[in-house]
Structure 1
Amino acid sequence: MQTDANVVHLNKVTSEQSPTSPVGRLPVALIQVRDKAAQQLKEALQALFDNADDTLFEMADRATSNAEQNSFFEAMRDLRLKRKSIERGFLQKIFESFSALTQYEIGKPPQLDAVVSFDSLSLVQNDELEETVAIDAMVGKVMSRDATALGHLTTRLNTLVSKKIEDKTNPLSPRVLCEAFLSACSSLGVEIKVKLIILKLFEKYVLSDLDHLYAETNQMLVAAGVLPELKTAPVRRNPTRSPASSSSGGHAHEGASALGGGYVDEGVQEVFGVLQELLAEVRGSALPRREVPADAMPITTRDLTRLLSHMQQHLPVQTAADFDLRTQLESLLTRASAKSGKTRVVGEVDEDVINLVSMLFEFILDDRTLPDSLKALIGRLQIPMLKVAVLDKTFFSRGSHPARRLLNEIAAAAMGWSEQDDAQRDSLYQRIEQVVQRLLNDFVDDPAIFTDLLADFLAFTGDERRRSELLEQRTRDAEEGRAKAELARQQVEQALNERLLGKTLPEVVVRLLQEAWSKVLLLTCLKHGTESEEWQAALATMDDLIWSVEPHEEAEARLRLLELVPGLLKSLREGLTSAAFDPFSTGEFFSQLEALHVQAFQRFKRPVPEVAEVEVPVTDGAQSDPQALADGGDQAALALPAAVVPVAEQPSMVEVIEEIVLSAPGESREQEPEVHLPDDDEALAHVDSLRVGSWVEIQEDDDHKLRCKLAAIIKPTGKYIFVNRTGMKVLEKTRMGLAVEFRRGAIRLLDDALLFDRALESVIGNLRRLKGA
């Protein structure tokens, strides 16, 4: 019906006036603010997700258990899958908060306090409490920094809408943004520690830029004529400011306590602030007290950078390791004071940086893990590293800082560098020298050069590592093959000695077994193992051969020998052929073996009067063909009367009195007697603590040290195989041999932890000890 158009349904009225429906239209100026904010927040959120994988991967790498590591990997996967929905959900919440500025609420019942029991309190998980504490800390940091700009923005928004807006209900307030993000992340099935890390990433990539957002939106509203008389603080454009360094130390501690357990992103830890506090507490005792004249004028960071650049360009090559940075800087400041007529000093913060970097390099240049010949090169990096630290204080706290990573990578690559290497021709030494020279020549105040040098150096070391790993794998394979062959030879030796030792046998048989059949046994053991049918068959052939040439008097032995010889000769021939034994030597062996078997048949003498005398000579062909003997020669010999059988020459006999020892070509089996240590000896514990990949330094003599890496522990033989940095084998030791080296102090385990991190840990530890002294 046409009249339906004039009917107003009650359910439509209710829905249209729901709190989430935009009853009023936003002013144009507010729409512009909303769109500007949405664009900036979207870009910041994309940066968060782009960096989340790296952060979570680093956390997984530092995990102390498989379960913990898996939780980080699952979080990475979950975050990738739900990234788009989180972005949409977050921006939707922002749009809704702007729309709510023109809405009014009706018919909302009063909120009654819920009845809470002590049992239900346990349902309010510690997780929620930790989230709340973390958000409070994040909001507190922003408010301590940007409260004025946010207050001006709130005041201007109040002139555009009739609804009362406060700072905490401002759509762009840090609390509203945090709650919107937390709501958008509600679908993530991650543990609280992972969620707290994601919140810290939100602080780093989103909240850290709110000062820019507030400044720009205030300027937009001023341009639109909204309260231009309010004086908004200008936006700070410090390229070196990081989210971590922009806030006060107190809030940093709050954030750290909120995360707990060490799961704080390194970029937001106030490490430099803690170091400053430690320096302040030991100044005057361990460090000289800062005496500043009343008329002293601190130089700016830019001027300090210029002075350091001057020192960097004139850094003496030969004395880099002993270069006293503070003395040289003091000399330059004295000259600057004389020119200006005013006492010029380094600011307190910059002086703290200088002290810290000096302490770090004191540790680095004393570190026994670094080869002495490379310490001079690395020591020349002190001024470039100091300049980076002056420009960017996150140098002390961010493990992924390019300058820190470059120093760590250089130290890691130098781990296997030996003093015997020719520095002028060694590619690693030359590459490190190029990096150092490039920094000294080109680094002024743009830290991006460290990123470029790091990428180039990683590409170089990656190529070297791949080549060394390939050679190292070949070394491992060869050693495992040698170990397997050695065990097989031991099995063959045992089998031969069990059957021959103490027996007197024809020389030809002993030679055949030791020189020829041992090779058949060796190949069979390597190919099939000692539990195989092939191995048992090869042993049975050897047993049959030995029995066939031993003297036997019993009547049954004649029939057994008659049945045994054909198959025995066939097995011997097939075995020697499979081992590719010399055919000429094989023919000689069989010729002599035939004669032995003929003699064996002759020993079985039986009177045969009924048989007429028939001379059946053994032809040369029969003698040279063992198969002919097997097929007919043996029967003919047995059928001959003793008077007409030709009497063969008695074979040469030998008694096997020494153990048979087999050795590979070019290998000596002589071993020096080892010293045996008790099982609870401390040196053996040091050996057992070695892991594949561990670097050690061995004092070969008074003048030479060998740096090598444990590439493999060959369990069957107990050999420890060491390679140099190219992957080539340089040392082989037994467990007991290594223990003896440890005991006499000739071997030292090298610390392969990150150099900068070890140096920083040492500095902090020293400062704390000095503080407690």
Structure 2
Amino acid sequence: MSQKTQAQNREILTGTRAIMVGFCETQGENFLTESCESLFTQSERAKADNEGRQLYEARQSLESGGSSIRRLLDERLKKQFKACFPSRSRSDAPAQAAQAIEDLGLVDEAQMEITVAVNSMAHRVESEHADQLYALAQRMALLNSGIKIEDDLTPYSPHTFCNAYLKFVDNDTHEQAVKLVLLKVFERFFLHKLGSLYEELNQYLVSANVLPNLKHKTSNLVQPRRRKSDENSPAPQRRQDDIYKAIESILHTENVPIDPRSPVMPVEQVISEIFAQQQQQRAAVGGDWLSQPAAPVFPATNTLALQQVLQVISTLFGMVNTETTVASPVKNLLSHLQTPYAQIALQDPDFLQDPQHVARQLFSSMLGASERWTDDETDSSNELVQRINTVVERIMSESQGDVKQDMALFGELLQEFTGYVENFERKVKLTEQRSVQAAQGREKLRENQLKVEETIAEKIGDETLPLPISELITEVWSSFMTYTLLRHGEGTEQWKEAARTIDTVLWYIEPKTNAAETKLADDIRHSLHETLENGMQNVGLDAGEIKSKLTALDLCQKLATENAAEHGGSPSAEQSSHASSSGADASSSAKRNKAASAANSKKAAAKPSKSAANSNAASKNTAGKKASGKNTAGKTKSRIAMQQESAKQQESATQKTKPGKAKDGASPDMLGKLAKSLDKKAAVDSAHTKTRKTSVIKPVRKASETEIEKVLSMKFGTWLYWNKPGEKPQEVKLTWYNSRTQNCMLSNSKGKEIAVVTANVIALGMQDGWIEVLQREKKKPLFERVLETFSSQAQSESAQPKAASYTKH
């Protein structure tokens, strides 16, 4: 490109920047004036004190920050121009453009809501002015040496203006609701005026001979979405043709009288009478639009075309009342809109022809939101119902029967309600996401608990433990192991240490049959107490509970050793032979001796000489003797029986002595309690044994693996119709499931968890017929169904005279 051409391009770019700066100055003033007046009017009209306060604070922010807004717009505009069209060499352009991009970082939920709202505003403007922005992009690329600039970085992009205003909003110290109000007025009174700026820029560039013959990109009009069934049907086009023929018959029918003997009512008079009904209705309701539905009576026009329009409106609201998916409060609210919608239909032919008509979109949006997020139990206090109530109240209060003014009102309400629905949908998704995260957390906890239970069961085996030890391991220590697994994970040293502690405890309470074992038990006692105390503190036990658990542990160890001494510490040859044949018991006992030695090695760091002696002593008495000792107890008496007898003997002996401390510091009360606990454990085990022998356990009904697999292969978001006998029918969504535990989370339409059931329950419900998978095909739009109904009625009515004439001839 020659230097002359570059100079000409820079001159043209300077002109475009001057146009944009002038627009920001002029429209910035208009924005402040119009928005402040609108906020003042709305605050005066607000019913709730909180809403009025928010509007007042937003107005104050704009009045005090007017100069700041204009400055931010000007600075942002110049910055974008400098970044996109640098006067220096092109090599610096990427760096300059990169500076225009805001730094990214983690944001909180409130900031995320603001950001999403700003992006939605910008995208709506881009969609509305797509043709003009396309032409500008092509022309600006030509001025930029043929290099296309990213849409979001162009100086004229809606994002440029939104980001400048966002800085003002972010600096505002008011609450979140006030900031959202500030964004709404900016979209309404500033962004919606960008169309005139884009038109002026394109005209300027055309006059400067920059692609003067460029044809604008043709926008794709949004067509009503068809059902999946229509795609495979040979008649969808014929159905659409019938609808449009019906519309044409309404719009182009001559105003001939239905009854020639009666006068014809002009359309102006019809509109006037309907508007009078609207005013009477407003006075009668007194602002309480939820109390009862409206039933206006349209005037008899004696004109076929007018009567057909009014018939379409009556059919529309009649079909709303038959919708089973719309809550009753919403039906009551929408019924009041018959009079304003009848006036629009009579004055604006596009109402019936254009699916994108703002009044139709607003009505469909309110109806669709109600279908998605309300049900039979929805009452007037519901958030969505209250929002629709606000829309209805404004339409009934502010519409004046003038089509231009009313269309402006409907357009404003559509934007506000669309923004509300987008925000509400984000909240629903966030609620559902948090529900899923909570369910995943519970399932993770359950998986870890199962792992802990498996580990404990593997270490204890079929051995019967004293009740205090059983409670210590299966209730207290299992909680600490679950905590360790959640925090550190399986395979870590912390998890291995927690698992080894069980082996140490089980070895510690075994009878000690020689001096080496007794010495080793004494050596590991302190470190074992420290480990257990630390774990119990982590799971919330207080000092008294911890002391009680540790005292019970020592007493069990003491009683086991004393009882073994009374029954003969040395195992017989027969018992030793029996022990040798039990590989599992020998292996388990070896592990416990290894754990005891490992526990003692902690102490060895401080006292290495004692550690060596203790380790040697423990190794001499490891597998063989421990296994035989253990089986000796099992051969003669169970450990519980032995400890029972010893505890009772200790209690009897202490009663003969003076009150106070028992031998070796164990109090008589403590020994007595331990004996009672052992009695209780033995009684419970005996009762369980008898129950297993005499009672028949009813098996839990189980679905087939194939049926369960079908449930666990459903997509997240599948809707189910739950109609269990004895329960209220409801529609629930399968939001998430855990394939391992087979637990399934069910939620409602608002994303809230309502139940967690197993896949087996769902499979059995589907098998028995009280659970069905809902196939939620998208329904045809209500207006399309209304026009189809009217078309069928019109065809049947037109066929009746023909049939009569054939009969006559």
Task: With the length of structure 2 as denominator, give the TM-score of the two structures.
Answer: 0.47
- Structure having the larger proportion of residues in helix: 2
Q: Which structure's relative contact order is higher, taking Cα pairs within 8 Å and 6+ residues apart?
A: 1
Task: With the length of structure 1 as denominator, give the TM-score of the two structures.
Answer: 0.49
- Asked which structure has the greater CA Rg, the reply is 1
